[in-house]
């Protein structure tokens, strides 16, 4: 994913043209919350960092507590999308319910979503779907867990809308021109799930075995499931 010509962070590091007067030498440990961001920090991010540093200096919180809390987020939002999609692969009626009303279908499987609506979009031999949130990083966390680093990057968010095929190729997903690429900008109240195509040669597989083929990235649409070679 890291292409220096598109990587603002790489350039700003070389030029050191930060748009703020923040003394980086004060940082003993880089803030892990900012690892994902390859643009200059925004006003709120700077305020948030400053607040954390102040609270640490006053001895009210420790960096370890902050790191621990971030780990807890991962535990609170486990990745459960594979089970849902594997069930849809084995049960056409369930798949239809998932496509009709994703939130209700997830609830039926015991996954309660925080978003008002989940829109499930199905990959077919004619259409490939890919999800992005250009405005921030909207993501169905209660279904897919915490969003991956690349999903929140400025690189992905800015490029996948206007050169989706190039970005997909960088993920190893090469699509012929006969396949329509359908980009979904998750820009307001809906959340999205890509239902990938079930690979050939998996007839008779159990839901558990099928779920083992399904990674998080496939449910955002940047990769597709394949049988192990």
Partner 1 sequence: MSADFSFKSTYAPAPVRRYNVGDKVTVKRAFPPGHRRTPQYIRGKQGVIERICGAYPNPEELAYGFDGKPEKVLYRVRFAQSHVWPGYAGPANDVIEMEVYEHWLEPVKG
25/189 with CB nearer partner 1: 189
Judged by CB under 8 A, the stretch of 112-120, 194-202, 204-212, 217-225 that binds partner 1 is: 112-120
Gyration radius of the chain's alpha carbons: 20
- Check residue 81 for interaction with partner 1 (CB under 8 A): no
Among 36, 49, 154, 165, binds partner 1 (CB under 8 A): 165
- Alpha helices, DSSP H only, in 58-196? 63-76, 81-90, 92-100, 102-108, 141-144, 149-152, 154-159, 164-170
Q: Is 137 a catalytic residue?
A: yes
38/186 with CB nearer partner 1: 186
- Check residue 117 for interaction with partner 1 (CB under 8 A): yes
Among 99, 161, 197, 207, binds partner 1 (CB under 8 A): 161
What's the rounded Cα separation, in Å, for the pair 199 and 226? Answer: 6
Q: How many residues bind partner 1 (CB under 8 A)?
A: 33
Residue closest to 120 by CA, chosen among 51, 190, 34: 190
Q: How far is the CB of 116 from partner 1 (least distance, A)?
A: 6
Among 29, 60, 93, 112, binds partner 1 (CB under 8 A): 112
What's the rounded Cα separation, in Å, for the pair 119 and 98? Answer: 8
CA dihedral for 71, 76, 81, 82, sign (positive or negative): positive
What's the rounded Cα separation, in Å, for the pair 222 and 206? Answer: 25
What's the rounded Cα separation, in Å, for the pair 120 and 101? Answer: 8
Among 37, 45, 108, 122, binds partner 1 (CB under 8 A): 108
Give me the residues that bind partner 1 (CB under 8 A), please.
101, 103-104, 107-112, 116-117, 119, 134-135, 161-166, 177-178, 180-190
Q: Which residues are catalytic?
A: 133, 136-138
């Amino acid at each position: 994913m890291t292409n220096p010509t598109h990587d603002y962070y790489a350039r700003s590091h070389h030029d050191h043209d930060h748009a703020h007067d923040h003394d980086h030498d004060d940082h003993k440990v880089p803030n892990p919350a900012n690892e994902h961001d390859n643009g200059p920090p925004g006003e709120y991010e700077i305020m948030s960092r400053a607040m954390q540093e102040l609270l640490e200096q006053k001895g009210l919180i420790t960096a370890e507590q902050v790191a621990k809390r971030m780990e807890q987020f991962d535990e609170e939002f486990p990745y459960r999308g594979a089970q849902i999609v594997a069930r849809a692969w084995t049960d056409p009626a369930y798949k239809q319910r998932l496509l009709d009303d994703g939130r209700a279908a997830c609830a039926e499987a015991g996954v309660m979503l925080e978003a008002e609506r989940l829109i499930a979009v199905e990959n077919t031999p004619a259409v490939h779907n890919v999800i992005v949130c250009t405005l921030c990083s909207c993501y169905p966390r209660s279904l897919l867990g915490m969003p991956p680093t690349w999903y929140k990057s400025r690189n992905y968010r800015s490029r996948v809308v206007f050169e989706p095929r190039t970005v997909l190729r960088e993920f190893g997903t090469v699509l012929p021109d006969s396949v329509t690429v359908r980009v979904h900008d998750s820009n307001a109240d809906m959340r999205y799930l890509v239902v990938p195509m079930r690979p050939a040669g998996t007839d008779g597989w159990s839901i558990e075995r099928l779920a083992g083929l399904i990674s998080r990235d496939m449910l955002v649409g940047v990769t597709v499931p394949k049988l192990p070679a």
